[in-house]
Amino acid sequence: MATSSRPHTVSRPQNLWHTPGVPSFLEDLYRGTFRWDLIHPFPVQDGADQQAGDRVLAAFGALLRERVDPTEVDVSQRLPTGLLDALVAGGYTRLQADPELGGLGLSSMNTFRIVQAAASWSMPVAQLLSVQNTIGVGSYLPALPPGPLRDTISARVRGGVISGNADTEPAGAANRRRMTIATPIEGGAAYLLNGQKVFTGNGPVAGMVNVTATVQGPDRDRVRVFFVDTSSPGFSVSAHHEFMGLKGFPAGALTFDNVRVPAELVMVEEEHNRRLTPELSRLIIRGRVHTIAGPSLAFGKLCLHWSREFANRRQVDDRPLGSFEEIQRMVSATLSEVFALETLAQWCLLGEDARDGERAVNLRYEQVAAKNLSSMTCWRMVDRTMSLLGAEGYESAQSKARRGAQPLPVERAFREARGLRISGGVDFQIDNWTSQVGIFWCYYPEPENARAIESEQVDVSCLDDADLTEPNLDHLRFTAHQVKAFARTCLALARRHPDPQELFAQEHLLIQLNQVASELLLMSLVLARTSRYGRLGPDSTQELADLYCAAARRRIDDLWRRITVEQPGEHASASAAWLAGDRWAHLMSDVLTETPPTAS
């Protein structure tokens, strides 16, 4: 790639993840600097905090087993009668809220553990709790100054309100503009909301929802967050959504028809030009770690359990299934990926619970990356486990129960895992968007460390204090070199395309670059955590780290091959011809393309 210099006149795109003066491991990785010192020694959960989580988990697990039949929820598509009241009474809808508001005062890590446990039993319950506790109205309290809005939200949280976040609209979540309009009335004392929202988690059962809407002004339009009481005239649930998975999860389409919202229930934030307000963006980024990574890890652990249970009871011609090489590879791959996802979750959340005096690290970049890393890894694990169990995996739990077989719900987990790749932003678009906003934010304008990026010298001082086996030291050395190679590629691309929009039009390239960075991130975290456990003793995870990093290196090598090899350019013309209906009509022969009728 060309490396000619370019003028420093390009404006930098807006990036809400960057915090001036606070280091970020992944942000520095994007810049070509491998900050091993930020992740090593790897953090661990405080013992007292873990015990507090253990106590809540014990009570919560008992409630799930007593009140929730996950197969019945999946079949009936309804949560059990009285479950919401029980969750409110137990404080599970206020996991992180202050005890004076009826909350449990849990840390971010323990909240994650609750969501993970719920997902391992019933995904609809997990999603309800995750939405409620991470992006519902109560989650805004830490950002609200003293005043009427804070007082109102505090009172509703204390009263046990169920809430949801209404942002996505029928036109699609990726659109910058919000078509729901808030019109000032009564001299600015209130607003009238008009519009529609879809895919609103908890919407059909919520007593209050936070709604994004556009306030039109003479100079510019502004997106604000409105806190809407669902008993307000003009509010209605216009449809209940039914998904491939999440059977029983209360999600719906909401209509706002001249819904009056007092001005004191509007959150006014700093000026911005993004489709999400800054605070909502921060909540969603952190919330996705719970909503996506929590269930992803839960399903991975279930896959480990199911794989062991199946392999230990099955034989092929009197030979134990677990003695076959390919089965061993499948089981060990899932084992290493569960360790990796657990590592990712701990890194993303333990820093949120850091105590005074501990080092401050910006985790926003990693929390963004966690969405795709966790959901895609989960998909590999569930798909692999489905293959391992064969027809028994594809068969529903209730069908297996009817014939007396072990009713492992692998088929249900498969449906739920596919949804995780869509929820919170479809996977490929998250990669594309992150590459633009996160990675190339570091290269427009040209970074001050451009000369260091171009240097052939690679800092491998991380090897000096890493307590790793030789194979894992080699993985660490590889990672440090790859971080520099990644930055060189990004710098060369930015120089080749002085106008960032020209580069951003190459979406497939950007997607693959972000995948490389994400793989390097998780390799780094796995090695840092493994180094903390050491090379010897019962807690050593050296084998798991080696397994995971070896597989990650193969994925990285494949990504680089696809990045560096020129791709055929016929995709645009072929796609345009097909979408226009001009060519290849014969490809649709012998199929019935009309939409089939559906039962009401």
Kind plus residue range of the DSSP H or E element containing 181: strand 181-185
| Residue pLDDT, tens place only, 529-566 | 999 999 888 889 999 999 999 999 999 999 999 998 86
C-alpha distance from residue 3 to each of 206, 478, 490, 512 (Å): 55, 24, 11, 21
Break the chain down into helix, strand, coil percent, rounded to 5: 55, 10, 35
Q: Please give the model's pTM, rounded to 2 decimal places.
A: 0.94
> For residue 10, what are the contacts with CB-CB under 8 A and spacing of at least 6?
444, 445, 498, 499, 500
Which residue in this structure is represented by tokens 């062991």?
Answer: 308
Mean pLDDT across the chain: 92
- Of 389, 551, 436, the closest CA to residue 13 belongs to 436
Kindly provide the b/e burial profile for residues 139-157, where b requires at least 16 CB atoms within 10 angstroms of the residue's own CB: bbbeeeeeeebeebbbebb
pLDDT for 358 beyond 90: no
Answer for the pair 503, 493: CB distance below 8 angstroms, yes or no: yes
Kind plus residue range of the DSSP H or E element containing 501: helix 500-504
CATH number of 47-158: 1.10.540.10
> How crowded is residue 596: how many other Cβ atoms within 10 Å of its Cβ?
5
pLDDT at 566: 67
Answer for the pair 373, 514: CB distance below 8 angstroms, yes or no: no
pLDDT at 536: 83
DSSP character string of 487-553: HHHHHHHHHH-SSHHHHHT-HHHHHHHHHHHHHHHHHHHHHHHHHHH-SSSTT--HHHHHHHHHHHH
- % the chain with pLDDT above 90: 84
CB hemisphere CA count around 566 (13 angstroms): 4
Q: What is the DSSP letter of 144?
A: P
Strand 208-215 versus strand 181-185 pairing type: parallel
Which residue in this structure is represented by tokens 């569960």?
Answer: 338
pLDDT at 600: 64
pLDDT at 9: 46
Answer for the pair 238, 178: CB distance below 8 angstroms, yes or no: no
Q: How far is CA 400 from the centre of its chain?
A: 32
- Three-state DSSP at 398 gives helix
pLDDT at 5: 44
* Dist CA 134 CA 545 (whole Å): 31
pLDDT for 77 beyond 70: yes
Query: Stretch 191-197: mean pLDDT, rounded?
Result: 97
pLDDT at 545: 98
pLDDT for 274 beyond 60: no
| Residue pLDDT, tens place only, 199-231 | 999 999 999 999 999 998 878 888 899 999 999
> For residue 502, what are the contacts with CB-CB under 8 A and spacing of at least 6?
none
Task: Categorise residue 309: left if φ over 0, alpha if ψ from -120 to 50, beta otherwise.
Answer: alpha
pLDDT for 174 beyond 80: no
The β-bridge partners of 215 are: 182, 222
Q: What is the DSSP letter of 14?
A: P
On the question of a common fold for 47-158 and 168-275, the answer reads: no
pLDDT category at 3 given cuts 50, 70, 90 is: very low
Tell me the residue type at 149: L
Kind plus residue range of the DSSP H or E element containing 229: strand 222-229
Vertex 257: Cα angle to 284 and 243 (nearest 5) = 50
Cis peptide leading into residue 445 (ω within 30°): yes
Domain ranges of the chain: 25-41+430-565, 47-158, 168-275
Lowest mean pLDDT of 11-15, 126-130, 161-165, name the range. 11-15
* Dist CA 518 CA 266 (whole Å): 36
pLDDT at 1: 38
Q: What is the DSSP letter of 227?
A: E
| Residue pLDDT, tens place only, 127-155 | 999 999 999 999 999 889 999 999 999 99
pLDDT at 223: 87
Lowest mean pLDDT of 279-283, 322-326, 443-447, name the range. 279-283
| Residue pLDDT, tens place only, 391-430 | 999 999 999 999 999 999 999 999 999 999 999 889 999 9
The β-bridge partners of 165 are: 210
pLDDT at 11: 53
* Dist CA 149 CA 163 (whole Å): 15
Q: How far is CA 332 from the centre of its chain?
A: 24
* Residue, of 63 and 172, whose pLDDT is higher: 63
* Dist CA 218 CA 221 (whole Å): 8
> How crowded is residue 200: how many other Cβ atoms within 10 Å of its Cβ?
23
pLDDT for 356 beyond 90: no
* Dist CA 171 CA 111 (whole Å): 33
> How crowded is residue 338: how many other Cβ atoms within 10 Å of its Cβ?
23
Strand 163-166 versus strand 208-215 pairing type: parallel
* Dist CA 496 CA 317 (whole Å): 61
* Dist CA 516 CA 554 (whole Å): 11
Answer for the pair 407, 397: CB distance below 8 angstroms, yes or no: yes
Kindly provide the b/e burial profile for residues 458-467, where b requires at least 16 CB atoms within 10 angstroms of the residue's own CB: eeeebeeebb
pLDDT for 108 beyond 70: yes
pLDDT for 591 beyond 70: yes
CATH number of 168-275: 2.40.110.10
| Residue pLDDT, tens place only, 461-487 | 999 999 999 999 999 999 999 999 999
Which residue in this structure is represented by tokens 């697990």?
Answer: 61
CB hemisphere CA count around 295 (13 angstroms): 35
pLDDT at 4: 41
